[in-house]
């Protein structure tokens, strides 16, 4: 019988898991984004109060929306967030792929229709405003032990603890620190010793438009990809009762990202309009409905060999930021959070290296596979008209079969199964 990654991790360490619970260990989470908040909630469920340090002075999530798939929503349901999420989300009727110039349906799959998606994956698919998701997670968390205005600058490993230095002068000593600090992670620089961030040479224009302002849009409550030469536009409805369409329009370029250091760059509105000139009127209506003053650079993180060093470990965008074409950045971050919480809750600090090795073993291959697939998807969505389109059309028609492994994943069951492997059982 072949060994699972979890078993490999334990065997390499040469030790067995100890199931000693300790609620007095000091756990710090850097970043109060989707990952940091979910991790804090998942730890609390298991009797551990972590402390979160967030650089921003306020928890505000700017702009646009996010799609939560079953692999994310099943975990948020376990954390008690689903009723609140359902109130402000929209479940797409279908997933539809369309051709850029006409509205030919290249392929379509039912989502809300006939309850198809929930039947298949056991949890819903939601389109939600990012600010609503952030509000629900932070309301559930309640704000205790959440320190705003704390930007981590550096970490210093000691023999029995790790020291965190913040730019406001605060210093904290903890047993373990989790870097949920996003694509520009300070914790990653400590763990990996390099930046590893990569500009994808693609960028995006984003906007939210009331459905009634889009008269040419067919199937406004579907999630739809419009595929065209060197660009694509994805949109889905958000907002519960007061529905609007969130769109995300991706183009190739610019070749070099301006050295501003940030994720956005200023543009003239006309740049966005010109990028989609000649596309179907529904696409032009969306792009024209919003005054575009910025474009978003799409950044990823190169594969990182070791996800942890000493007492510091990475999760979410800090370790596997990916192109958003499978809508999986946040969903895989939620999976990381649940996996890590379950493992930390069962471990003693003397187990830390094994615990973190098991976490990496459970998460690295899956997130890498999705990351790689998102790059392939970019190419496929941006083909110019020509002979390759027939093969692309065949590929997107297989979407449900080819990618159900992403949505069917159950992170909690996976980590529990790994911990239950006979050779990992506690000995007494």
Ligand X SMILES: Cc1cc2nc3c(=O)[nH]c(=O)nc-3n(C[C@H](O)[C@H](O)[C@H](O)COP(=O)(O)OP(=O)(O)OC[C@H]3O[C@@H](n4cnc5c(N)ncnc54)[C@H](O)[C@@H]3O)c2cc1C
Nearer to ligand X (CB atom), residue 329 or residue 424: 329
Q: Pick the closer one to ligand X by CB: 32 or 313.
A: 32
CB nearer to ligand X: give 33 or 354.
Answer: 33
Q: Which is nearer to ligand X, 106 or 146 (CB)?
A: 146
Q: Tell me how far apart the alpha carbons of residues 172 and 352 are, in angstroms, rounded to a whole number.
A: 19
**Full strand arrangement of the beta sheet holding 146-147:** 146-147, 51-53, 27-30, 176-179, 312-314, 308-309
Is 236 or 279 the residue whose CB approaches ligand X more closely?
Answer: 236
Residue 297: CB minimum distance to ligand X, A: 9
Q: Is 359 a catalytic residue?
A: no
* Least spacing, CB of residue 51 vs ligand X, in Å: 12
Instruction: List contacts with ligand X (CB under 6 A).
Output: 30-36, 53-56, 66-67, 150-152, 180-182, 186, 204, 248, 296, 316-318, 324, 327-331, 333
Q: Which two tokens stand for residue 204?
A: 């995006």
Six token digits for residue 251: 């183009």
Q: How far is the CB of 183 from ligand X (least distance, A)?
A: 6
Decide whether 376 or 385 has the Cβ nearer to ligand X: 376
Active-site residue, selected from the candidate residues 53, 117, 125, 236:
236
**Minimum CB distance to ligand X, residue 53 (Å):** 5
- Residue among 79 and 152 whose Cβ is closer to ligand X: 152
Strand 162-166 relative to strand 152-157, pairing: antiparallel
CB of 249 to ligand X, least distance (A): 10
Q: How many other CB atoms sit within 10 Å of the CB of residue 351?
A: 21
Q: Could you tell me the smallest distance in angstroms from the CB atom of residue 337 to ligand X?
A: 8
- Write the secondary structure of the chain as one string of H (helix), E (strand) and C (coil): CCCCHHHHHHHHHCCCCCCCCCCCCCEEEECCCHHHHHHHHHHHHCCCCCEEECCCCCCCCCCCEEEECHHHHHHHHHCCCHHHHHHHCECCCEEEEEECCCCCEEEEEECCHHHHHHHHHCCCCEEEEHHHHHHHHHHHHCCCCEECCCCEEEEEECCCCEEEEECCCCEEEECEEEECCCCCCHHHHHHHCCCCEEEEEEEEEEEEEEHHHCCCCCCCCCEEEEEECCEEEEEEEECCCCCEEEEEEEEECCCCCCCCCCCEEECCHHHHHHHCCCCCHHHHHHHHHCCCCEEEEEEEECCCCCCEECCEEECCHHHHCCCHHHCCHHHHHHHHHHHHHHHHHHCCHHHHHHHHHHHHHHHHHHHHHHHHHHHHHHHHHCCCCCCHHHHHHHHHHCHHHHHHHHHHCCHHHHHHHHHHCHHHCCCC
* Minimum distance, C-beta of residue 37 to ligand X, in the bound complex (Å): 8
Tell which residue, 415, 416, 414, 400, has the closest CA to residue 121.
400
Least Å distance, CB 62 to ligand X, is: 11
On whether the CB atoms of residues 125 and 70 are closer than 8 A, the answer is: yes
Nearer to ligand X, 104 or 266 (CB): 266
Residues annotated as catalytic (active site), given as ranges: 236
């Amino acid at each position: 019988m072949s060994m699972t990654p979890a078993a490999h991790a334990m065997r390499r360490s040469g030790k067995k898991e100890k199931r000693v619970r300790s609620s007095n260990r000091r756990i710090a989470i850097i970043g109060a984004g989707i990952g940091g908040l979910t991790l804090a909630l998942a730890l609390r469920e298991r009797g551990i109060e972590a402390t979160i340090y967030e650089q921003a002075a306020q928890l505000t999530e700017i702009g646009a929306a996010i799609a939560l798939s079953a692999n994310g929503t099943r975990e948020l349901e376990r954390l008690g967030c689903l009723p609140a999420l359902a109130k402000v989300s929209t479940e797409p009727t279908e997933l539809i792929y369309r051709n850029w110039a006409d509205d030919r349906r290249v392929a379509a799959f039912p989502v809300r229709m006939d309850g198809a998606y929930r039947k298949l994956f056991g949890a819903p698919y939601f389109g939600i405003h990012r600010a609503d998701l952030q509000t629900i997670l932070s309301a559930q968390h309640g704000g205790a032990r959440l320190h705003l205005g704390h930007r981590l600058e550096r970490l210093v490993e000691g023999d029995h603890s790790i020291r965190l230095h913040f730019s406001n002068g605060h210093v904290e000593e903890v047993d373990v620190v989790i870097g949920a600090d996003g694509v520009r992670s300070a914790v990653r620089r400590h763990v990996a010793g390099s930046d590893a961030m990569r500009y994808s040479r693609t960028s995006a224009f984003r906007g939210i438009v009331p459905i009634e302002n889009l008269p040419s849009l067919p199937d406004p409550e579907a999630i739809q990809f419009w595929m065209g030469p060197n660009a694509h536009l994805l949109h889905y409805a958000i907002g519960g009762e007061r529905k609007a369409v969130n769109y995300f329009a991706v183009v190739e370029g610019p070749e070099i990202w301006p050295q501003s250091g940030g994720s956005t760059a200023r543009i003239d509105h006309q740049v966005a309009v010109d990028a989609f000139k000649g596309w179907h009127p529904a696409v032009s209506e969306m792009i024209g409905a919003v005054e575009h003053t910025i474009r978003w650079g799409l950044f990823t993180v190169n594969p990182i060999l070791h996800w942890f060093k000493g007492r510091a470990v990475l999760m979410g965008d800090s370790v596997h930021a990916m192109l958003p074409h499978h809508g999986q950045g946040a969903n895989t971050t939620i999976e990381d959070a649940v996996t890590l919480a379950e493992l930390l809750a069962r471990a003693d600090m003397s187990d830390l290296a094994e615990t973190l090795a098991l976490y990496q073993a459970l998460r690295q291959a899956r997130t890498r596979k999705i990351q790689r697939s998102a790059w392939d998807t970019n190419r496929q969505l941006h083909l110019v008209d020509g002979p390759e389109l027939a093969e692309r059309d065949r590929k997107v028609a297989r979407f449900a079969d080819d990618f159900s492994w992403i949505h069917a994943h159950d992170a909690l069951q996976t980590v529990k199964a790994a911990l239950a492997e006979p050779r990992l059982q506690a000995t007494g």
